[in-house]
Chain A
Amino acid sequence: MAQDDRPPAAAPESLLAAPDRASQSQIDAETRELHAEYARRIEAGERLPRTMYDFPPYRSSILRHPTKDPKLVDPETIELFSPAYGQRDVAAIESDLTLQHAGEPLGERITVTGRLLDSWGRPLRNQLVEIWQANAAGRYIHQRDQHPAPLDPNFTGAGRAVTNDAGEYSFTTIKPGPYPWKNHVNAWRPAHIHFSVFGSSFTQRLVTQMYFPGDPLFPLDPIYNTIRDQRDRDRLIGVYDHDLTVPEFSMGYRFDIVVDGADATWFEAEEGER
């Protein structure tokens, strides 16, 4: 299709609301039905991705998921490497989201610590970890966020860290609030922190979300439920760890991340700062 034949671009904010305005019970029924169907297909020997691309309860996925299966290929050289990072690529202050402004942000201060591992349990060192999140009131600083909760002048909600020799990262931040969105009527996202990691091979690239234990919104959230299996969904829930809790300062959560790649990633020498 030539550039000129394309429909004019809609204002991006207008795309955030699903047109059908479904009820929560409708979304719940669709979710249950799809999870049951996936379980049947797995039982019948079909291979399905852990995160389903075609998941209609997440309304904006309807026109944005590929309809064909991905082609299985052997990774070529460039795909078995990833961009190089080192401890010097991010400033230490970038991992403390509570220190980026003149004052302290409002909310429950937390530390989130974990290890970045490959499928064989090997720690991945010198890897970039990026996070972004809403503030304690559930508001993102992004200009397209229409949620009328207050912005916090002392909180941006973006951080970066590079893993150490043990593959560990650590962030200090505040616990994000649940966030209302327009997928359906009365849709609320469980509190979450977005994570982006690279791994030692470009095939391991991962963007995911960390959730908090015991959130009553889990069964109601279409995005969390794009992951078809409960055991996989559980892997995205940070673990409260009292040993990580700092007395009179912050609550501690542990969130380990495992990146998968092709078999060939087994052979790759560990990348690091040299």
Chain B
Amino acid sequence: MTDPITVRPSVPPRTLEPTPGQTVGPFFAYGTTFPKKHEVAFPHSPGAIVLGGTVLDGAGAPIPDAMIEIFAADADGSVPRARGSFRRDDHTFTGFGRAFTSDEGHYEFWTRNPGSVRGEAPFFAVVVFARGLPDKLHTRIYLPDDAAALAADPLLASLDPAERATLVARREPSGHLVHDIRLQGEGETVFLAY
């Protein structure tokens, strides 16, 4: 039997240089807001949880002008393909949410626990923007519940325990998830390149 990897065509060379990123700046709120932007799932609907935390700078101070985006699978592990993130109808799950940090640096989403299709560790894909941050940052927020899946995850397995802890959320007794994002310094979040 042929190994599927060997028959996969190779990636041709890129023909265009990418447009470089720039900071989101201080005044993004009026340009990027939309109603219920942080309500990926309708609040208090079955399976809905709060995912929230604080975004911190290198001095441990909260960042009041950050924008956090998440995109994740639905509870059954399926990739959401429904439209309507910017026009929420309160029942369609689009998987995408956007939150601005408060004056205390807090961000919050109503969403669902992403599911797993083949036993892989479920996570939220996350992008961080902020005034003072010259370009976007990618990271992940993993669910803390399945220790075996977390141990088998290739990214987490490549990290030391302290780094790994920056990517795994904490589950509250309420079922909600807490996860701080530190841009710099002690406990600096692991950020990703693809």
Contact = CB atoms under 8 A, between A and B. Distances in A.
Interface of A: 1, 3, 6-7, 9-12, 15-16, 49-53, 55, 58, 60-68, 70-79, 81-86, 88-90, 117-121, 128, 130-133, 140-142, 144-145, 156-158, 160, 194, 196, 202-203, 205-209, 223-224, 226-227, 231-233, 235-236, 256-264, 266-267, 273
Nearest to A262: B194
A29 to B, nearest CB: 19
Interface in B58-93: 58-65, 69, 71-73, 79-87
Nearest to A232: B20
10 contacts: A6-B60, A10-B61, A58-B132, A68-B188, A78-B71, A83-B96, A119-B15, A130-B31, A206-B136, A257-B19
Given A10-B61, A68-B190, 8 more contacts: A6-B60, A51-B134, A70-B192, A78-B114, A81-B71, A84-B82, A89-B87, A207-B24
Closest 3 CB pairs of A and B: A132-B31, A60-B132, A260-B18
A207 B23 CA distance: 7
Interface residues of B, number: 82
Contacts of A74: 154, 194
A83 B193 contact: no
B24 A194 contact: yes
Given A7-B60, A235-B17, A226 B12 contact: no
Contacts of A55: 134
A140 B54 CA distance: 27
B103 A11 contact: yes
A89 to B, nearest CB: 6
Contacts of A205: 69, 127, 136, 138
Contacts of B30: 132, 140-142, 156-158
B22 A207 contact: yes
A140 B20 contact: no
Nearest to B117: A77
A82 B70 CA distance: 10
A258 B18 contact: yes
Given A120-B14, A120-B16, A208-B20, A12 B65 contact: yes
A263 B61 CA distance: 37
Interface in B117-147: 117, 120, 123, 125, 127, 129-138
A78 to B, nearest CB: 5
Given A82-B71, A203-B138, A207-B136, A119 B24 contact: no
Contacts of B120: 76
Contact of B194 (A65, A68, A75, A145): A75
Contacts of B8: 267
Contacts of B73: 77-78
A157 B14 contact: no
Contacts of A141: 30
A140 B27 contact: yes
B64 A12 contact: yes
B71 to A, nearest CB: 5
Contacts of B136: 205-207
Interface string B3-42: 0000010011011111111111111111110000000000
A64 B26 contact: no
For A68, A71, A206, the residue with the greatest tally of chain B CB atoms inside 10 Å of its CB is: A71
A269 B188 CA distance: 35
Contacts of A117: 16
Contact of A236 (B19, B71, B123, B154): B19
A170 to B, nearest CB: 17
Contacts of A16: 26
Given A9-B62, A258-B17, A263 B11 contact: yes
A233 B179 CA distance: 35
Given A9-B103, A64-B183, A84 B22 contact: no
